Structure 1
Amino acid sequence: MKVSQLLPNNINFTLYGHLIQRCTDRRLTRQAKQLHARLIISSTTADNFLASKLIAFYSKTNNLSSARHVFDKIPHKNTFAFNALLIAYSVHHNHIETLKLFTSILSRRDEFLDLAGVEPDSFTLSCVLKAMSEVSALDGPLSARMIHCYVVKNGLHLDVFVGNGLMTYYSRCDDLLSARFFFDEMPERDLVSWNSMISGYSQGGLYEECKDLYRVMLGLRDLRPDGFTAVSVLHACAQSADLVFGMEVHRHVIDNRIKMDLSVCNAIIAVYAKCGSLDYARELYEEMSEKDEISYSTIIVGYMVNGFVEDAMKVFRGMSNPGLSTWNAVISGRVQNNQYDNVLDLVRQMQVIGLKPNSVTLSSILPAIPYVSHLRGGKEIHAYAIKINSDKNVYVVTAMIDTYAKLGFLSGAQIIFDRAKDRSVVVWTSIISAYAAHGDADVALSFFNKMLHSRTKPDSVTFTAVLSACAHAGMVDKAWEIFDLLPKSGIQPLVTHYACMVVCLTRAGKLYEAVEFVEKMPTEPSAQVWGALLNGAAESGNVELAKLVCDHLFELEPENPTNYIVMANLYAKAGKWEEAERIREKLSDTGFKKVAGLSRIETSEGLHSFTAGRAANERRNRMS
């Protein structure tokens, strides 16, 4: 039927709707617009069915303003029409408008019920929850609790699609407890449900929970893990350095003939690379018929994590056009390997080829600033972060606090913290660590108390920072109080916590109490714990205890020269020259040399480094 054959009188909306749908499917843009024009010319107002077809057409032709205009002209809107516009906004990632439209449904719901029976359904909620997952809870006009209550009140929680959407939202907001609660309460779970929860754990850093849920999934009769499941669990294995479990997942992928697409291949390589099996990771990498940016980044990160910087750089230099993620991997890797000198040069090279640093770049280079620049350099990066709207990113915030603290600019670190909207556990820990490192235990403890009152749960790193502050200040009673909080917070005391307690006790002169504490440890003391006790014995001049401790250290870490030096110096201080010489000979036999000290001074020309033992510096006259 030709458009010219359609008369404006007595229009058949159903026929018109099917014609517009056909034009949409076949991309007949001009013909669809002609059909709409005839409706307008004939002063015909489209009903919900016909309007929904027009909205879908304008959405497909990227004309959302016309889609909204059609929607606004519907005299008595129903759920079908609302869903059509919600889909249009969702497809074009216009999440704020999606949430605003849903708010209008709720706020005017009683008015519409009498006219057209507008009732948000499972499809409506799926679109809204998808939008909420993509925007910050602070930016959107709705809250998850509001949606959750609406879902339960109207019985929509029984719908698997709505349940999956709500669970995904909670996961992306790092509220994994709520996500798991909803997961457990779902009467029916599909593959998406399991993958959403497993992915939430993996992305949220709860790697053991991720692997445990995967084990449960393996026991299901009607559902089997797919490639998406494998990628999430493999990521958890790589991040937790669990090679054995990663190999089991790899075997499951092969045995069950799960498609080895790029994402699965990259995840498998990441496990072997990050867990130290670099040869096998490189073999798998070389066998890939197709590689993407993530493939290169994965093998580069693997080399960097294991300290093979030059191998990583060789792969990087062999790339024809590395993207931003690869540049970030190289920059981050060099910083992690304490190769700070060329980091800023890499950033400049990246900018020369047209790539702009993002929040990942900034959080990667900030730890290098105290070693290669000065306070001005830190402030310049801070200013750039503000310029590109990355100053609220949690990783940039924590890196800035740490950088300012190391540069002695505690007031700047405090300002960053005060302005942070998202005060997650890592942000609280960073400001506590900043004051602890500067020996201000009172302020560090004050922040710790504020953190507890804010209902932010401290993690093991937080406790290490607080115990370190107590150790520096010799606050033994407070340290015991904090240490006893660990099991109450669901945290098993780690080696670092025991070491901090030993430092605290020895600095307070309670050397034998520290020895008793070490002897009562539920696990074998590590080198870190023995090292803390050795330093305590050395400070008090207790040669016999130091000798006993060193026997353990020489066995645990025979290649650590620090232990030999501390013991030799202690013997010398006690006048036991023969014993001191024997220890020095033992150190010499190991082939180790004392690392030369490095000093830096700031001049008008920038930051300059000096290594102990150098007789001269070519710029010494200009620095005088």
Structure 2
Amino acid sequence: MTLYMPLFRSCTVPRTLAQLHAHLVVSGLHRDPQASTKLIESYAQMGSLQSSTHVFKTFPNPDSFMCGVLMKCFVWNHCFQEAILLYHEMLHRENCMNRFIFPSVLRACSGFGDMGVGGKVHGRIIKSGFDSDAVVETSLFGLYGELGSLGDARKVFDAMPVRDVVSWSSIISCSVENGEASEGLDMFRWMVFEGVELDSVTMLCVAEACGELALLREARSVHGHVVRRGIKTDGSLDNSLISMYSKCGDLQSAKTIFRSVTHWDTASWTAMISGYNQTGSFSEALDAFVEMQESKVEPNSVTLMCVLRSCIRLGLHREGSSVHCFAIRNGVDPDLDFLGSALFELYSEIGGLSYCQKVINTIGGRNVVSWNTIISGYCQKGLLREALVLFVQMQTQGLMPDSFSMSSALSACGKVGSLELGHQIHGHIIKRSYLDEFVLNSLIDMYSKCGFVDSAYMIFDKIKHLGLVTWNAMISGFSQNGNPVMAIGLFDEMYLNCHEINEVTILSIIQACSELGYLEKGKWVHHKLITLGIRKDLFTDTALTDMYAKCGDLRSAQGVFDMMEERSVVSWSVMIAGYGMHGRINAATSLFDQMVETGVQPNEIIFMNILSACSHAGAVEKGRFYFRSMRDFGIEPTAEHFACMVDLLSRAGDLNGAYEIIKSMPTPVDASIWGALLNGCRIHQRMDMIESIKRDVLDISTDDTGYYTLFSNIYAEGGNWDEFGNVRLMMKGIGLRKVPGYSIIELDKQVHRFGAGDTPLPQMKEVYSFLEKFQSLARE
């Protein structure tokens, strides 16, 4: 067989290798393990895995070495599932397992994204006694690092009896790649304290960590380590130092290192162009690209991706298209493995969705990162259903979604209310063990937005280490789903446990206080916002204004409003609505005029608020004036505006005018508008008019229980119990029930919510005692 080994090296085309294979079969040497193993490897190197598999399956008794070679071939060609299946097959063979098998199968598990199988392989490694093998341990780092399980990687590291520079570099790299750059730096400090000799690979990881955290002082210290210890700086480390300084905002130091490089290759220029982008110097990045071309250095796909980013940020769409043409002419990244995401962003800004679709079709099923960018881009542009279609299409292409893909898809599911697909993604997450914080937060947000806040809380309650984003997601979920008491309770728990809070936390809890009318808590939150030095922005100021207004403290609402550095149309809207709901019509209209004078264009919500203010105050003429003024601002009245006018006229007793408005509406009349007219009829005892419009009202198909309840109450007040019973029977016949009301009361700085039929609260005695005192005060 030794005579045939040079022939394998000379086989450079499949035909020659097939001829050699035939010769080995004729001579009977194909039964030699060494020859068959070499055939398997040679076929795989030529891209013919089918032939490699055939050789393996036709061999009578493959040994562990042959199995290991075929598995390695599978991994080389990204056939991760086939490698895992081969591993399971090997478990049932005798003498087929050795330490060389495990690095390949661990790489297959990480590539396939299967933490479940990876964990079982780790168990087999321990059972087989290979857990102390340095190569196997490094592969375990790779598995846990790529699948985002930093805790498991740390356990492997801590259990190692001897840690060399490779082990230290691996755990630091694992930390940085999983978004824990700070922990990576801590590990580096520990490594220096232990006296482990540093090398260029270690410093490359540490430089990346400093760049991610934008720690300029630490970055200079790392650079000092490189210089003082005489660590040989190859091109990779130089480029990493350039990137590090750029991310820390020290462009001058990045330029200094770039100029000190003796030979500028493609990677050096790319690092510098990327550095310009990092510091927002996009024009300088394009100048550097021109200089790179003048120096006859060929750009690669990463270079062109950076240049495309510069063009996009500067709005140079034509130049961006020219870069695309340059890539096509020079055959750079023909499959768009790197440029796909940048080109998608470019063409989506231009508005050429047909070009975006061509980018998607070109990418096919090869690049997870590009697919993630495209799905995320569709989400950001509000094309949520299209994003979900792409998410499904990515999987039909045979590409396994990662945690970022699933988080983007879950976000889209929540916004469009696609609970069924959200459930399916949740099942996939459990199956693949993608239970990192990023994915879990997306699940909480998805269930909350779909109205299943209990499911969101079940996920929240099982998380052992709760981060700030997780707390915020759950508090926001309760607040958005009409459960402000739970939102405030969760916030109190978060605060008492000394967890960090930020402007997102504050915004959610202010909205909860607003819904409850919980003024004292709202003031406390406002105080904490100031004392903790949390950055205030337009959204927080607007929410505070809304909270004070809804809680009846108009002076504080106006105070926050007056202190705003900038005001959006929403800010004006909530202040106008605040005055309107408290009957301060003159203040509301004055504020409206002031808004127009400052050049802010009123929108549909503003007019709805001002019409509602007129309705509460009974200002009929002002209401008519503002209703007619809508078209002067280019706004066509919607059903909500007509409902406000009908309510205004009905409350004022002009029921005929209200009825005429309904009949003149260009759009179908919904139940809320008829409900406003019915309420006016009830107030002014116009039973005759109720009978005349009864047919119009009952023809409407609606599941609004308030509308039916109003109808039945009118008959009850008029003593017409037969008709009252008919309406209630009608409700029962179509499966509607009156929505029970509820009450909210504050006792000892706690808010309690209860309704008819609720289980008595422990504080019911105090509640009744308070009500008795309140009644006695009312009598006085």
- With the shorter chain as reference, the TM-score category is 0.5 to 0.7
Give the Å deviation of 1:246.
4.8
Partner of 1:515: 659
Once residues 476 and 186 of structure 1 are traced to their aligned partners in structure 2, the CA distance between those partners, rounded to angstroms, is: 58
Partner of 2:539: 395
Partner of 1:232: 377
Residues 222, 478 of structure 1: CA spacing in aligned structure 2 closer, same or farther, 3 A cutoff?
A: farther
Partner of 1:260: 401
Give the Å deviation of 1:284.
1.6
- In the alignment, does 2:207 pair up with 1:59? no
Once residues 417 and 28 of structure 1 are traced to their aligned partners in structure 2, the CA distance between those partners, rounded to angstroms, is: 49
Please, what TM-score do these two structures have when normalized by structure 1? Answer: 0.65
Partner of 2:463: 319
- In the alignment, does 2:224 pair up with 1:32? no
Partner of 1:496: 640
- 1:511 partner letter: L
Residues 161, 251 of structure 1: CA spacing in aligned structure 2 closer, same or farther, 3 A cutoff?
A: closer
Partner of 1:39: none
Partner of 1:534: 678
Once residues 765 and 510 of structure 2 are traced to their aligned partners in structure 1, the CA distance between those partners, rounded to angstroms, is: 29
Once residues 285 and 552 of structure 2 are traced to their aligned partners in structure 1, the CA distance between those partners, rounded to angstroms, is: 54
CA offsets per residue over residues 85-107 of structure 1, 9 Å max, x none?
Answer: 9987985xxx7xx8xxx9xxxxx
Give the Å deviation of 1:538.
2.5
Residue 357 (structure 1) aligned to one of 491, 501, 507 = 501
Partner of 1:299: 443
Once residues 473 and 202 of structure 2 are traced to their aligned partners in structure 1, the CA distance between those partners, rounded to angstroms, is: 47
Residue 726 (structure 2) aligned to one of 582, 587, 595 = 582
Residues 409, 524 of structure 1: CA spacing in aligned structure 2 closer, same or farther, 3 A cutoff?
A: same
Residues 54, 622 of structure 1: CA spacing in aligned structure 2 closer, same or farther, 3 A cutoff?
A: closer
Q: Describe the SS at the equivalent of 1:619.
A: helix
- 1:287 partner letter: H
Whether contact under 8 Å (1:471, 1:500) holds in the other structure is: yes
Once residues 54 and 324 of structure 1 are traced to their aligned partners in structure 2, the CA distance between those partners, rounded to angstroms, is: 31
Give the Å deviation of 1:163.
4.5
Give the Å deviation of 1:54.
13
Whether contact under 8 Å (1:370, 1:403) holds in the other structure is: yes
- 1:275 partner letter: V
Residues 474, 62 of structure 1: CA spacing in aligned structure 2 closer, same or farther, 3 A cutoff?
A: closer
Q: Describe the SS at the equivalent of 2:411.
A: helix
Which 5+ residue runs of structure 1 have no aligned equivalent?
1-20, 36-51, 72-82, 103-119, 127-158, 168-181, 200-209
Partner of 1:619: 766
Give the Å deviation of 1:185.
11
- In the alignment, does 2:552 pair up with 1:441? no
- 2:407 partner letter: N
Partner of 1:284: 425
Partner of 1:269: 410
Partner of 1:592: 737
Whether contact under 8 Å (1:550, 1:567) holds in the other structure is: no
Residue 195 (structure 1) aligned to one of 345, 356, 366 = 345
Whether contact under 8 Å (2:646, 2:661) holds in the other structure is: yes
Whether contact under 8 Å (2:246, 2:276) holds in the other structure is: no
Task: Show the 5 A alignment for 1:12-161.
Answer: 29=224, 32=227, 56=242, 59=245, 67=253, 121-123=283-285
Once residues 314 and 243 of structure 2 are traced to their aligned partners in structure 1, the CA distance between those partners, rounded to angstroms, is: 29
Residue 602 (structure 2) aligned to one of 458, 461, 467 = 458
Residues 301, 125 of structure 1: CA spacing in aligned structure 2 closer, same or farther, 3 A cutoff?
A: farther
**Larger deviation, residues 396-405 vs 185-194:** 185-194
- 2:377 partner letter: S
CA offsets per residue over residues 179-214 of structure 1, 9 Å max, x none?
Answer: xxx869988686647626858xxxxxxxxxx9x764
Whether contact under 8 Å (2:312, 2:346) holds in the other structure is: yes
Residue 164 (structure 1) aligned to one of 290, 293, 312 = 312
Q: Describe the SS at the equivalent of 2:484.
A: coil
Whether contact under 8 Å (1:534, 1:550) holds in the other structure is: no
Once residues 219 and 476 of structure 1 are traced to their aligned partners in structure 2, the CA distance between those partners, rounded to angstroms, is: 58
Whether contact under 8 Å (1:270, 1:281) holds in the other structure is: no
Partner of 1:404: 548
Residues 422, 294 of structure 1: CA spacing in aligned structure 2 closer, same or farther, 3 A cutoff?
A: farther
Once residues 499 and 216 of structure 1 are traced to their aligned partners in structure 2, the CA distance between those partners, rounded to angstroms, is: 45
Once residues 63 and 563 of structure 1 are traced to their aligned partners in structure 2, the CA distance between those partners, rounded to angstroms, is: 61
Which 5+ residue runs of structure 2 have no aligned equivalent?
1-199, 206-221, 231-237, 258-269, 289-306, 325-340, 364-369, 774-780
Residue 218 (structure 1) aligned to one of 339, 357, 365 = 357
Partner of 2:491: 347
Task: Show the 5 A alignment for 1:413-452.
Answer: 413-452=557-596
Whether contact under 8 Å (1:235, 1:271) holds in the other structure is: no
CA offsets per residue over residues 359-388 of structure 1, 9 Å max, x none?
Answer: 111111112225667433211100111234
Task: Show the 5 A alignment for 1:560-579.
Answer: 560-579=704-723
- 2:313 partner letter: G
Once residues 31 and 246 of structure 1 are traced to their aligned partners in structure 2, the CA distance between those partners, rounded to angstroms, is: 46
Give the Å deviation of 1:417.
1.2
Give the Å deviation of 1:547.
4.6
Residues 383, 230 of structure 1: CA spacing in aligned structure 2 closer, same or farther, 3 A cutoff?
A: same
Whether contact under 8 Å (1:363, 1:399) holds in the other structure is: yes
Once residues 621 and 499 of structure 1 are traced to their aligned partners in structure 2, the CA distance between those partners, rounded to angstroms, is: 39
Partner of 1:469: 613
Once residues 655 and 577 of structure 2 are traced to their aligned partners in structure 1, the CA distance between those partners, rounded to angstroms, is: 26
- 1:619 partner letter: E
Residue 366 (structure 1) aligned to one of 503, 510, 514 = 510
- 1:452 partner letter: V
Give the Å deviation of 1:316.
1.7
Partner of 2:88: none
CA offsets per residue over residues 207-232 of structure 1, 9 Å max, x none?
Answer: xxx9x764674378998885323213
Residues 56, 370 of structure 1: CA spacing in aligned structure 2 closer, same or farther, 3 A cutoff?
A: closer
Give the Å deviation of 1:266.
1.9
Once residues 183 and 65 of structure 1 are traced to their aligned partners in structure 2, the CA distance between those partners, rounded to angstroms, is: 26
Residues 357, 565 of structure 1: CA spacing in aligned structure 2 closer, same or farther, 3 A cutoff?
A: same
- 2:615 partner letter: A
Once residues 596 and 374 of structure 2 are traced to their aligned partners in structure 1, the CA distance between those partners, rounded to angstroms, is: 35
Please, what TM-score do these two structures have when normalized by structure 2? Answer: 0.53
Task: Show the 5 A alignment for 1:241-252.
Answer: 243=385, 245-250=386-391
Number of equivalences: 493
Residues 528, 620 of structure 1: CA spacing in aligned structure 2 closer, same or farther, 3 A cutoff?
A: closer
Give the Å deviation of 1:431.
1.5
Residues 68, 33 of structure 1: CA spacing in aligned structure 2 closer, same or farther, 3 A cutoff?
A: farther
Once residues 546 and 55 of structure 1 are traced to their aligned partners in structure 2, the CA distance between those partners, rounded to angstroms, is: 80
Structure 1 or 2, whichever has the larger Rg, is 2
Give the Å deviation of 1:272.
3.1
- 1:408 partner letter: G
Identity over the aligned pairs, expressed in percent? Answer: 24
CA offsets per residue over residues 21-79 of structure 1, 9 Å max, x none?
Answer: 999989884563699xxxxxxxxxxxxxxxx99994993897969949989xxxxxxxx
Once residues 662 and 569 of structure 2 are traced to their aligned partners in structure 1, the CA distance between those partners, rounded to angstroms, is: 29
Once residues 273 and 605 of structure 1 are traced to their aligned partners in structure 2, the CA distance between those partners, rounded to angstroms, is: 34
- In the alignment, does 2:732 pair up with 1:546? no
Once residues 373 and 233 of structure 1 are traced to their aligned partners in structure 2, the CA distance between those partners, rounded to angstroms, is: 38
Give the Å deviation of 1:124.
8.4
Whether contact under 8 Å (2:583, 2:613) holds in the other structure is: yes
Residues 348, 546 of structure 1: CA spacing in aligned structure 2 closer, same or farther, 3 A cutoff?
A: same
Q: Describe the SS at the equivalent of 2:483.
A: coil
Partner of 1:114: none
Q: Describe the SS at the equivalent of 2:493.
A: helix
